[in-house]
Amino acid sequence: MSKTVTMYPAAVYHNEYSEFICGWGAAFVNITATFPLNKAMFRQQLYGISGFRAIGQLQREGLRNLYRGVFPPLLQKTTSLSLMFGMYYRFQRLLCDCCPQVWKPASHATAAFLAGTVEATLAPFERVQTLLQDRSYTEQLKNTRHAFMSLRGYGLREYYRGLTPILMRNGPSNIMFFLGRDYLKEVLPLDNEGTQKLIKDFTCGALLGAFISTLYFPLNVVKTRMQSQLGGQFVGFFETFRVVMAERHYSIERLFRGYHLNYMRSFLSWGIINMSYEFFMQNFFRKTPCS
């Protein structure tokens, strides 16, 4: 007999901002732990080099520059995950109240897509992070504030260079994450208490994060290329994709260069994020399912 998988219901908390707060905290824990690995992966995406060469570059640049550029992702990711979790449950409750007859997975998917679209407003942080991690701008851009000020001279549009791949990524990946997380919570043979719950939450986030980030890896390669340009002509997504493929001799293997580091980083990052989020929710905010 097949097992029926039920979707997790929306939740009500004593603090209406609990999901926002716990999303912020989960992102903070994750960024401080995984930033060096993310920086090495970024170098692979931008220059198409091996993992050993990327790590070698970071070693030669020294410990002083290892966390250069951490402030924008810290701001962006803490705010982004705060919006991702907070707006997902906010939209979910809104849809539950106004359209109770709608099929739950469809309602949850819509909430996830809308939350991802809201996240895209934070594209300037990804933009600045890209510039600061690119060694071509090490001398030109001193720090986060200087990078933001430098972009101002090119106009508001410059802050949102690379927005198209971000929009293409955020909504669909959110749908896969939240619906996949609900499914895995049901089917994994682990208890929802104590150490087993921590392992279950880490596993759910890690498996989903690794799979989704690998699936959308080419989008991030193109986004990185688009955002690494400072000033000049705006080149669209499809044209940039064509240029990247031509530079890599139309090789899918070269397009995915760096995915091993990306897979490991995402496995670890999203495991930490989901486990931290659930830990914070369980220990700091009491929750009861909505009717």
pLDDT at 1: 44
pLDDT above 90 covers what percent of the chain?
56
pTM of the full structure: 0.81
pLDDT at 7: 44
Q: What residue has token string 């090119």?
A: 154
pLDDT at 162: 94
Mean pLDDT computed over every residue of the chain: 87
pLDDT digits (tens, 9 = 90+) for 195-210: 999 999 999 999 999 9
pLDDT at 286: 59
Asked whether 7 and 290 are in contact (CB, 8 A), the reply is no
CA dist., res. 9 & res. 111, Å (int):
13
Q: What DSSP letter does each residue of 187-234 carry, written as one string? A: HS---SSHHHHHHHHHHHHHHHHHHHHHHTHHHHHHHHHHHT--SSPP
Per-block mean pLDDT, blocks of 10 residues, the chain (291 long): 44 72 95 82 74 82 78 86 96 92 93 96 90 85 89 92 96 97 90 88 96 95 93 93 93 86 89 96 67 34
Residue type (1 letter), 28: F
pLDDT at 2: 43
Residue 249: in which H helix or E strand, if any? Answer: none
pLDDT at 184: 94
Residue type (1 letter), 87: M
Q: What is the CA radius of gyration of the chain?
A: 20
pLDDT at 9: 44
CA dist., res. 173 & res. 216, Å (int):
8
Domain annotation for the chain: domains and CATH numbers = 11-284 (1.50.40.10)
